[in-house]
A and B are shown apart, each in its own frame.
Chain A
Amino acid sequence: MISFDHVGVRYDGAREPVLRDIDLEIDEGELCLVVGRTGSGKSTLLAAINGLVPYFTGGTLTGRVITGGRDTAAFRPRELADVVGLVGQDPAAGFVTDTVDEELAYTMEQLAVDPLAMRARLEETLDLLGIAGLRDRPLRALSGGQQQRVAIGAALTAHPRVLVLDEPTSALDPVSAEDVLAAITRLVHDLGVTVVLAEHRLERVLPYADRLVWLAGDGTAVSGAPAQVLRSADVRPPVVEIGRLAGWDPLPLSVRDARRLAAPLRARLPAAPPVPGHVSRAGAGPVLTARGVVVRYGPLIAVAGADLALLPGEITALMGRNGSGKSSLLWALQGTGERAGGTVSAGPSGQDPARLSPAQARRLVGLVPQIPTDLLYLDTVAAELAQADRDARHEAARPGQRRTAREILDAIAPDVPPDAHPRDLSAGQQLSLVLAIQLAAAPAVMLLDEPTRGLDYHAKAGLAGALDLLADAGHAIVIATHDVEFAARSCDRVVVLADGEIVSDGPSATVLTASPAFAPQAAKVLAPLPYLTAAQVAAALEPAPAS
Chain B
Amino acid sequence: MIASRLPRALHPVAWWAWAIALATAASRTSNPLLLALIFAVLGLAVTTRRGSAPWARGYRFYLMLALTVIAVRVLFRVVFESPVAPGEVILFWLPQLPMPSWYSGIQIGGAVSLQAVLSASLDGMRLACMLCCVGAANTLANPKRALRVLPGALYELGVAVTVALSVAPQLVESVQRVRRARRLRGAAGRGVRALRAIAIPVLHDALDRSLLLAASMDTRGYGRTSAATPANRRLTAALLLAGLAGLCLGGYGLLGAGLPGGAGAAAFAAGAAACVAGLALGSRRVSRSRYRPDPWGWPEWVVTGCGVAGAVVFCLGTGYNPAALNPGVYPLRWPALPPLPVAALALSVLAVLAAPPPTPAATRALAAAPVPRGGRPQPIPSAEP
Contact = CB atoms under 8 A, between A and B. Distances in A.
Nearest to A81: B221
Contact of A498 (B178, B224, B287, B374): B374
B101 interface: no
B213 A96 contact: yes
A50 B218 CA distance: 10
Most A CB contacts (10 A, CB to CB) among B181, B185, B221 go to B185
Given A119-B292, A134-B368, A374-B181, A93 B209 contact: yes
Contact of A110 (B178, B221, B369): B221
A373 B289 contact: no
Contacts of A390: 188
Contact of A113 (B289, B364, B382): B289
A477 B222 CA distance: 47
Nearest to A300: B373
A299 B219 CA distance: 40
Interface stretch (B18-26, B119-127, B195-203, B349-357): B195-203
Size class of the B contact interface (CB-based, 8 Å): 35 or more
Interface string B32-54: 00000000000000000000011
B60 interface: no
Contact of B184 (A113, A136, A155, A367): A367
Nearest to B144: A98
Contacts of A153: none
B86 interface: no
Interface stretch (A263-271, A284-292, A506-514, A526-534): A506-514
Contacts of A22: none
B218 A78 contact: yes
Contact of B379 (A86, A88, A96, A515): A515
B381 A94 contact: no
A90 B209 CA distance: 10
Interface string B140-177: 00001000000000000001001100100000000001
B184 to A, nearest CB: 5
B190 interface: no
How many chain A residues sit at the interface, stated as a range, is 35 or more
Nearest to B209: A93
Interface string B197-230: 1001100100011001111111111111000000
B214 to A, nearest CB: 8
A213 interface: no
Given A133-B368, A423-B204, A510 B383 contact: yes
Interface in A84-132: 84-86, 88, 90, 93-98, 101-102, 105-115, 118-119, 122
Nearest to A116: B289
B188 A498 contact: no
Given A105-B291, A391-B186, A377 B373 contact: no
B220 A81 contact: yes
Contact of A107 (B204, B221, B290): B221
B180 to A, nearest CB: 7
A518 B380 contact: yes
Given A137-B368, A359-B188, A504-B382, A377 B196 contact: yes
A136 B216 CA distance: 22
Contacts of A358: 183-187
A373 B364 CA distance: 39
B185 A375 contact: yes
B289 A109 contact: yes
B369 to A, nearest CB: 8
B319 interface: no
A195 interface: no
A437 interface: yes
Contacts of A37: none
B344 to A, nearest CB: 36
B87 to A, nearest CB: 57
B293 interface: yes
Contact of B221 (A82, A94, A374, A498): A82
A496 B184 contact: no
A136 B291 contact: no
B289 A136 contact: no
A107 B184 CA distance: 42
A490 interface: no
A471 interface: no
A90 B144 CA distance: 24
Given A135-B368, A373-B204, A101 B186 contact: no
Given A94-B216, A358-B183, A108 B380 contact: no
B231 interface: no
B216 A88 contact: yes
B378 interface: yes
A498 B379 contact: yes
A123 to B, nearest CB: 12
A510 B368 CA distance: 38
Interface string B260-289: 000000000000000000000000000111
B218 A112 contact: no
A175 interface: yes
A146 B370 contact: yes
Contacts of A97: 144, 162
A351 interface: no
Contacts of B380: 319, 496, 503-504, 511-512, 514-515, 518
A132 B293 CA distance: 20
B97 interface: no
B212 A88 contact: yes
A373 B186 CA distance: 16
Contacts of A154: 220
A336 interface: yes
Contacts of A78: 218-224
B361 interface: yes
A336 B180 contact: yes
A45 B29 CA distance: 67
Interface in B69-93: none
B57 interface: no
Interface centre among B144, B187, B196 (most CB of A within 10 A): B187
Given A86-B219, A118-B291, A377-B197, A504 B186 contact: no
B289 to A, nearest CB: 5
Interface string A507-547: 00011101101100000000000000000000000000000
A336 B184 contact: yes
A52 B216 CA distance: 10
A126 B351 CA distance: 36
Nearest to A321: B379
14 contacts: A52-B219, A84-B219, A86-B216, A105-B291, A106-B220, A119-B291, A155-B220, A358-B184, A359-B188, A369-B181, A371-B177, A506-B385, A511-B383, A514-B380
List 8 tightest A-B contacts by C-beta distance, closest first.
Answer: A81-B221, A94-B216, A105-B291, A110-B221, A133-B368, A359-B186, A374-B181, A93-B212
